[in-house]
Amino acid sequence: MTEHNQIARREAMVDHQIRGRGIGSPAVLDAMRRVPREAFVPDNQRNVAYHDTPLPIAANQTISQPYIVALMIEALDLKGGEKQQLAVGGRLVLPVGTDPDSQKLLRITRVSEHEFETENLGAVRFVPLIGEAGWEEPGAGSRRVFGSRGMSAPDQRLVERITQVAEPFDSVDELPLDGLLERIGDSRLVLLGEASHGTSEFYRARQRITRALIEQKGFDFVAIEGDWPDVAHIDHYVRHAGYPPSEWTAFARFPTWMWRNEEVRGFVDWLREYNASRDPGARVAFHGLDLYSLYQSIDAVLEYLEDVDSAAAAAARKDYDCLSPYKPDPAEYGRRVEGADFANCQAPVAAVLHNLQAQQHEYAKHGAERFLNAVQNARLVVSAEAYYRSLYDESHSSWNLRDTHMFDTLEALLAHHGKGSRGVVWAHNSHLGDSRATEMSRRGELNVGHLCRQWFGDAAYLIGFGTNTGTVAAAADWDAPMEIKTLRPVLPESYEWLCHETGLAGFLLSLGQGADSEVRCSLSTPRLQRAIGVIYRPDTERASHYFETELPRQFDEYIWIDHSHAVTTLDSRELKGMPDTYPFGL
């Protein structure tokens, strides 16, 4: 790669990754522009030197993500001429934590001979400190003494027991469902996870389970980790609703492949056909739980109010104008919040939701479904405003706000569909497994699974998924092109390794109260679990994609697929000639 290209990449890195996240020191920005990061990485990493990620170097260590480098340097507040970092007035910036997966970046300032001031700069994840004073290696001690097969005797016994009690299958198309449906019983919510957003088998398995829940147990709706107005396109289509086509294409922004794929399309077409012979009020619905559609939701609220109450529409438009300047980049709103003279939009967007809800009796005359859609879009705007306002907070409140919004939406759907209604949820393992059983809880994070357990108890059935090798649809960075990436084999310290060692192509494993006690007890020892979202970075897989969990507390059931394949993205040529209301239109 030419020097000119590297300079251009450095400039883009500074603009988007560093200054774009709030680093403002001119000296730091200038240094990040001038230092050739590619000179500090192995030759095979030079072409990705300016990606938004840590990169592997020698001795199983990494060079930190560019933003973290800039953050730490800016936190030192250097003026020039500094020599002794622990002299009075000296500053030390370092990651601190009890284990590699739970660290905080601290700035320690010596304010007097015997006084130190400590500031928390946020959560970070650094690779383990090595050497005489380093961290204990994962798996050290009696828990993991690997033998000739790379596995301790207790783990070998556990693998053998899993093989005995699991329900095997060779293909997700032959997924054994009778026992699973019996274990689900009368649960009101069934949460179906995934270990990545780009694996075909996870979508196909969820489809088979969901079809059985609808056909055999009468479930009323499916809710997915997608934005409410985008998923409303699917809902209108599968319920044969008389809505006009939207002015925008659903699921057209990154990551498009997450829902615009052949696996989802197959389920959507099945559900439309299933609903065709049912009365309108008995048709199974399809809803979105997520909150990233801020401006589409604003437009949907205003369009609804223009139709039912023009005066209220004018007032809502004035309230929503507060957010108009940030339409090109909603994250910019979060960056501006800390300004001394900044007036946030919390009150005006909340007023729109309150006014809508206050008129429920009158507005619902225009249709209960239309009112639900308007209120949920207004609720989404409130949550999205809070989400973007907290995005650059050093706490983890943005994650909690997002998952709380998804859970609140789920509760609203159960209320809307009536007493005794039942729903299926499709989202990532990290959202649907109980966070209290994972290292997320140590960071103060909650999720949908935790909230469902808390409020619905045994009436929520949580199912996780895992895989070993194969391919996955993912990107290297946010907004980067989708690639078909090859999965690395799972780590020996992980739950997935135990599953792989069974030699089974796939299986269902019960983990709930009625599960095999030996398996349940043995699996309760914390281990690593792999999580891949829309981004996959195999070169830093341990740091980027593994976290610690206690599997039996996290899920009621675990579905293993040893070798998997990437989702199949939609071929636009096949969409020509479809009706304007088709949810996956061009």
Distances (CA, A) of 423 to 9, 113, 126, 177: 46, 61, 39, 18
Q: What DSSP string runs through 359-417?
A: THHHHGGG-HHHHHHHHHHHHHHHHHHHHHHTTT-SSSHHHHHHHHHHHHHHHHHHHHH
Between CA 295 and CA 253 the distance in angstroms is: 13
Between CA 427 and CA 544 the distance in angstroms is: 19
Between CA 51 and CA 49 the distance in angstroms is: 6
Between CA 158 and CA 498 the distance in angstroms is: 8
Answer yes or no: are the C-beta atoms of 494 and 560 closer than 8 Å.
Answer: no
Distances (CA, A) of 406 to 8, 15, 287, 469: 39, 32, 11, 31
- What one-letter code names the amino acid at 483? E
DSSP 117: E
64 catalytically annotated: yes
Q: What is the dihedral of CA 110, 113, 114, 115, to 10 degrees?
A: -30
Answer yes or no: are the C-beta atoms of 132 and 138 closer than 8 Å.
Answer: no
Host H or E run for residue 76: helix 66-76
3-state secondary structure 536-583: CCHHHHHHHHEEEECHHHHCCEEEEEEEECECCECCHHHHCCCCCCCC
Between CA 55 and CA 61 the distance in angstroms is: 8
Catalytic residue among 64, 200, 383, 390: 64
Give the number of other Cβ atoms within 10 Å of residue 292's Cβ. 18
| CB proximity list for 134: less than 8 A, separation 6 or greater | 128
Token pair of 309 as six digits: 């109450």
Catalytic residues: 64
